Amino acid sequence: MVDSLNPFVVSGKIPPEYFCDRVEEAAQLEKSLRNQLNVVLTSARRMGKTSLVDFVFDKPEISENYITIVVDILHTTTFREFIMALGAAVFENVATRSKKLRKQFVTLLKSLSASFGYDPILNVPTFDIRLGDLQNPEFTMGEIFSYLESVDKRCLVVIDEFQQITYYPEKNVEALLRTHIQKLKNANFVFSGSKRRLMDEMFFSSKRPFYQSAKNLPLEPIDKGIYLDFAMSNFKNANKNITEEAFSHVYDTFWGVTFYIQRIMKDAFAETKADDTCDLNLVKNLIEDYIDENDSRLREQLSYISESQKELLYAIHSEGQVQSITSAEFNKKHRLRSPSSTQSAALKLLEYDLITRKEKIYSLSDPLLKLWLDRKIV
């Protein structure tokens, strides 16, 4: 006997019937792309940006009329690695559609022509490129974009965690990309990012190359009432129940962050038998189990930061929200070393995405980290 699908999906593409809300955001994203606009898509991590893009790209109006390409660059640390990831994604999503497009890809990427592999069984070239093969990344990028211009359908390119390019040692990456992208006539881009401060600086500062080059589409938490109806409906469809109190506790505990809510709801759904009810006690136990599950990961995450950074992290955790981290009062209260040291530590914690700053107020970025620290710091 095969178990029925758990409606609270936490990995892979979400079937449309199990996709919660985002009606307005999905409509805006689809409309913008069909109107040949670039989009900057921002939210905190685990809020559902990738799932939203997948949901829109799977719509027949998009999937039947466009070629969609997703490039995740979170792992990249140099411009050369960026071009490697871009080239691999274009090859996989575009060139593999036909022998003609494969041949076209190899022909247009002259800078890499000697580096392509070959599949003797299928009689086609393969993307067997290594970083060392990229001798002139800027030139190769131009060739990749020229290839996108040559294909028979309009291309929609998502660059996930786009703010990563600001950490590259090369200082002109933003200008290079902007120069090439603004010339494209057969492609539009979604610049997706989870560090809003960096993304806002990139796209809304008049001093930056991407200034006002894309429509802004921020993702906020799904409305609590809508999410509650979604959860209750899915429990009811399986002859199960969940109390409003239980769902509200999960939603509030995880600050409305989609991934965490989905994960606890997934576990709650699995633990609740037919004709039974998921109550507050069950979800509290599941949350405790989830904190235990992530204990080693969170310990390791904090092992990479300095003592002064830990001290500031713990101080912000203690306060919940802090408006002036360099004030004498805050530094004295939490026995921090000095305002200048605190400022330096804050910049690193922001870079590591352990804290966030919104409207000059600092707080922890991750509700799970907050729960874990609640246990460790008394």
Query: What average pLDDT does this structure show over 201-229?
Result: 96
CA distance 149 to 307: 51
- CATH 3.40.50.300 domain locations along the chain: 22-218
CA distance to 66, 91, 174, 346, 367, per residue, from 362 (Å): 41, 42, 27, 9, 14
Strands (E), 16-137: 39-42, 66-72, 117-119, 124-126
Neighbours of 315 (CB within 10 A): 20
Instruction: Say which CATH architecture domain 305-376 belongs to.
Output: Orthogonal Bundle (1.10)
- Give 224-293's CATH code, choosing from 3.10.590, 1.10.1740, 1.10.3470, 1.10.8: 1.10.8
- CATH 1.10.8 domain locations along the chain: 224-293
Summarize pLDDT for 300-311 with one digit per residue, the tens. 999 999 999 999
Is the pLDDT at 1 greater than 50, yes or no?
no
Summarize pLDDT for 319-373 with one digit per residue, the tens. 999 999 999 999 999 999 999 999 999 999 998 999 999 888 999 999 999 999 9
CA distance 66 to 69: 10
The pLDDT value given to residue 212: 94
CA distance 18 to 354: 31
CA distance 188 to 171: 24
Take residue 96 and report the two structure tokens written for it.
């593999």
Overall pTM > 0.75:
yes
The vertex-170 CA angle with 80 and 197, nearest 5°, equals 105
- The length of the chain is 378
Q: Considering all CA atoms of the chain, what is the largest pairwise distance in Å, rounded to the nearest integer?
A: 71
Is the pLDDT at 121 greater than 90, yes or no?
no
The domain made up of 22-218 is a member of CATH 3.40.50.300 = yes
